[in-house]
Amino acid sequence: MNINRNHKNHQACFNSIRELIMLLAVLCCLCPLAASGLDQSSTNSTLPTIPPSLDNTNPSYHMGNNGWWFLSSELKHLQTATETTGHPDNTVISAIGDFDKYLNSLGIQLLVVPIPEKSLVRMDQILPTSDLQAGKNYSQATGRYISALSAAGVDVLDLSNQLIAEVASESTHGDPVYCKNDSHYTSRTANLIATWICEHVKKSMPQLIQNNDASPILGSKKEITIQGDLCQKTPETLQVVEVTSPTSSLTPNATPKDSAMVLMGDSHCLVFSSGGDMLAKGAGLPDYLGMEFGTMPTLVAQRGGAKNSRIEFIRKSRKNKDFLGNVKLVVWCFAARELTQGDKWSPLQYPR
């Protein structure tokens, strides 16, 4: 009895300390901005004005240079970098932190991967060349959230610098980092992100890498033509490499019942993977994660923002008590714009 009481006291103390750290992180989130690769000398300084869309047909979409299209809501997110307070929304930090605490109580690690803004990565198709250097500080819109979450103890993987660097090598590797006429990244980028996630996880949880003779492998490369969700007037030709099983006796991209990883998120977890209006099958983030880790992740993906996948995760947990039985890692991917433009980040009731 004394042992149990001491354990509960220690756990309560740990939770209280963790909540205090999270509160301090929100209040002081500007201090670690350097960790996000931001130019602190320009923090909250005047940023270059984003030019108006070259096509005003639909206010939800923004046409940039050379026929590149962007989401207007994403540009609104970037423009929050001009806010003088510099503080992220505490509701967002608390919602993500609560989910992290819930998973940790079950012995599960959470990795948050905000998908960098297409408009930030391809700022060269929005701003004039003379404004590009100053335009880099639009990354503060997401960077301040990443800093606050990291300071609160949430594991966050910032991929903005890697994707911006990849733009320079597009002519060598073929496909662009993001689709020109669609709001999502290309299949090539999904492959890169899966590799970076695996490299990050390998540092602390190497046991999750289970490559063997039955692990998914890359199949043949093929060319596809897509009509993007931003502009369907001009078809876009891309290359995809489908992930497949090494032998015909195995079901391609099948998730084992004892998968140790859950991939949850928005349509970035579906594009080039689920087929139909998601452009292709077998060549998206869950497929490439399966190849990197050796087994396919359990997929909990919902269109319409970060909140929907969180609700679906809870629904599955309540419906099936064994849903998280073997899970050691949850990778949560969602568009970075959701941090300021998404649905309410209201607290949710997690199953116990």
How confident is the prediction along the chain (352 residues), in pLDDT tens digits per residue? 444 444 444 444 445 545 544 444 444 444 433 333 333 333 445 799 999 999 999 999 999 999 999 999 999 999 999 876 668 999 999 999 999 999 999 999 999 999 999 999 999 999 999 999 999 999 999 999 999 999 999 999 999 999 999 998 876 777 899 999 999 999 999 999 999 999 999 999 999 998 888 888 999 899 999 999 999 889 999 999 999 988 654 455 666 677 899 999 999 999 999 999 999 999 999 999 999 999 999 999 999 888 899 999 999 999 988 899 899 999 999 999 999 998 878 888 998 7
pLDDT of residue 85: 66
Please, which residues bridge with residue 49 across strands?
Answer: none
How far is CA 87 from each of CA 27, 115, 141, 155, 255, rounded to the nearest angstrom?
7, 20, 10, 19, 40
pLDDT in the model for residue 18: 52
pLDDT at 135: 95
Q: What is the pLDDT of residue 351?
A: 86
Work out the burial of residue 140: count CB atoms within 10 Å of its CB; fewer than 13 is exposed, 13-18 middle, 19 or more buried.
buried
Burial zone of 352 (CB within 10 Å; 0-12 exposed, 13-18 middle, 19+ buried)? exposed
Question: Widest CA span of the chain, in angstroms?
Answer: 71
Supply the pLDDT for residue 289.
96
For position 7, what pLDDT does the model report? 42
**Dihedral pair phi/psi, residue 113, rounded to 5°:** -125, 90
Burial of 262 per CB tally in 10 Å (0-12, 13-18, 19+): buried
What is the torsional sign of CA 286, 288, 289, 295? Answer: positive
